[in-house]
Structure 1
């Protein structure tokens, strides 16, 4: 079984390799193609990956290439984990909005829109190459903003599913609080990518969320960066990304007083690549835990194994809405539990969504549609429309100012902005 990883030179990749090695019986890979245009970086990561697999006694071959067509040819699944513009572009995403009094984050708000503008056209070009050289392959998108990118792939007719590690992270944390195996935990997870709430936590079918909040509310609140009283009032656990909405002004104040996350990650990446260059290194470094992407490999293995093995199990993914959330259009992409089989992902029915959540979901979903239109067709006015529709911006003069700034800062990655 061949798996291709686009963005294989990422410092994330050894996290994937570690999971592939540990979960080899679940996903018996024979070839892993790492694809990346940054050849020096790719070679360091590929060498580390080969040593990790050898240490684990895994027989899969690791093939490193800058040639996309060669890398994806014959693959059964293709993982997308690319970052157009690298950490330098991310730094702009996280700092430019702060100049206008808006939260600076790479997937949420103005920064998330900038990332979508750069990313969607590149991902669609990649997907066309996959369609030509591996027409039966599933595309698993881990590239942010996952909801918008997945919608773009699906609208273009590709076999694609979006994946995020937020849900599996909650599952593992709740299991740890309860002292049980993660497989016994299922989540009442609902919303959009990076805009979700856990409205229930089932242990062997019984909802234990009230007990979890009563016994571990302080720690859970610290994890998501929100006041404990809010979690008790909601009776739910919002994802960390809801902090950008529920505590916007506080977050802006905090962000203005410290270096960007991009700056921190860039320093980590330099250190990680130095580790990967050591030919004696053959185990996932502890520093990688701070890089982000916790449990990404487990989520990816589970999804690919179910798609290729037609297992029919339930996983939380990004998928077409259909009629699942009746207040959204069918073509919207939502993040909910879904049945995964060889035919793809089918969202499961969810309990009616409370207006407190449904209003924000609708608002952000409308923004995502406009963001996708701007990414596909370009134009400063379309960028401005998307910003005007976003609940974290939503003011005419602010949207116009940010649109001009974002386009100017990203001209190198936006062909339409240079014409």
Structure 2
């Protein structure tokens, strides 16, 4: 089976390859093609993958190409993890937003809109070319903003593009551990959009263990989200929000922190790419995980919280379920159909899905909490306004997308962001990697 990784020079590609090396199931990936526009980054990552595979018999072959059409031909699966504008673009998104007094996080608020404006045109071009050169391939999208980009790509790929994110799975693992159950035995009742969802139940053999966890403050505040939000607020919600909702519930504090994750990662990863090796990659990866969302915490992350969802494992499970027609239930980004009543059938949502050879189909969930409906519907309007602006290239649509975002909520600020951002509307935003 052939897997093509777009953004193949990206820092997290070795995570995917390491998961493939450990996979010994029938129908596993035997050929990996890395595509990137930056040949030097491709060479750096290929070197790390060679070290990973050094003592592994029958490891998947790895080739690299800067020619997208060539890379795509014959693909069974395409994994998209591109970063348009590179980490320099992310740093610009964050600094411009901060300079305008609003949140600059890369997928949330002004930063997320700016990232989407750059990314959607490239993602649409990729989708068109996949439909020509690999029409039977399944596309797994990890490119952020994941929900928005997945929805845009459905215009050319339909249900053959599926978005993934490790945040809901990581949340499920941490909550299950705190509740004293195995996540593999649990049904996670989760609903929302990418980076905007709520875990409303953890069902084990027909019993929901979440209410007991919510009633126990000590256990509730023993893991990442409990520390972020606090037991009192979680009890008020009656649910466990995705960690990214911290930016909505504690907006002033997040803006005041002034943290720029993009600038940190840009400097950190430059050191790796200047002297790439498996050892330096492992060291850099651990530092990256330890400092994830550091602006929201007063202390270092616990070792247990470093065990996130593992997007590499999500991607692997998704590929297995489709390729082997082996049923699995995964939280994915797919068209809504009739799952969430607050959104239309075509809106891409993040919910549990049943996956098999026919793809991914959303299943019934407990809906978005009443107090979250406004956020979800507002953000879907923003996503679609951003897609329209990205396709049309019209400044007015970009201003509208930003002004409608609840974390911007000002036409004047939206205009300032659009007019001062160096990579929007005429700036040079080449496609790079995460």
Q: TM (normalized to structure 1)? A: 0.91
Does residue 289 (structure 1) correspond to residue 253 (structure 2)? The answer is: no
Using a 3 Å threshold, how does the CA distance of structure 1 residues 269 and 133 change in structure 2: closer, same or farther? same
- Counterpart of 2:389 in structure 1 is 374
Query: 1:339-358 to 2 correspondence within 5 Å?
Result: 339-358=354-373
Query: 1:1-400 to 2 correspondence within 5 Å?
Result: 1-25=1-25, 28-158=28-158, 159-178=160-179, 180-213=181-214, 214=216, 215-220=218-223, 225-255=228-258, 258=259, 260-273=260-273, 277-278=276-277, 281=278, 285-291=282-288, 295-400=310-415
Deviation (angstroms), 1:81: 0.4
2:142–2:164 contact (8 Å) kept in structure 1: yes
Name structure 2 gaps, 5 residues minimum.
290-307
More displaced, 54-63 or 236-245?
Answer: 54-63
1:143–1:149 contact (8 Å) kept in structure 2: yes
RMSD: 2.2
Using a 3 Å threshold, how does the CA distance of structure 1 residues 149 and 316 change in structure 2: closer, same or farther? same
Deviation (angstroms), 1:179: 5.0
Q: Distance in 1 between matches of 2:242 and 2:207?
A: 22
Deviation (angstroms), 1:284: 6.6
Using a 3 Å threshold, how does the CA distance of structure 1 residues 324 and 79 change in structure 2: closer, same or farther? same
Partner SS for 2:381: helix
Q: Distance in 1 between matches of 2:132 and 2:325?
A: 24
More displaced, 175-184 or 264-273?
Answer: 175-184
Paired residue total: 409
Deviation (angstroms), 1:338: 0.9
Higher relative contact order (CA 8 A, sep 6+): 2
Deviation (angstroms), 1:49: 0.9
Name structure 1 gaps, 5 residues minimum.
none
Q: Distance in 1 between matches of 2:429 and 2:285?
A: 31
Deviation (angstroms), 1:358: 1.2
Deviation (angstroms), 1:261: 0.5
Partner SS for 2:59: coil
More displaced, 53-62 or 172-181?
Answer: 172-181
Superposed CA deviations along residues 363-385 of structure 1, whole A, max 9, x for unmatched, are 11111111111111111100011
Q: TM (normalized to structure 2)? A: 0.88
More displaced, 38-47 or 155-164?
Answer: 155-164
2:198–2:368 contact (8 Å) kept in structure 1: no
Superposed CA deviations along residues 294-313 of structure 1, whole A, max 9, x for unmatched, are 51111110111112222232
Using a 3 Å threshold, how does the CA distance of structure 1 residues 224 and 268 change in structure 2: closer, same or farther? farther
1:190–1:196 contact (8 Å) kept in structure 2: yes
Partner SS for 1:393: coil
1:189–1:336 contact (8 Å) kept in structure 2: yes
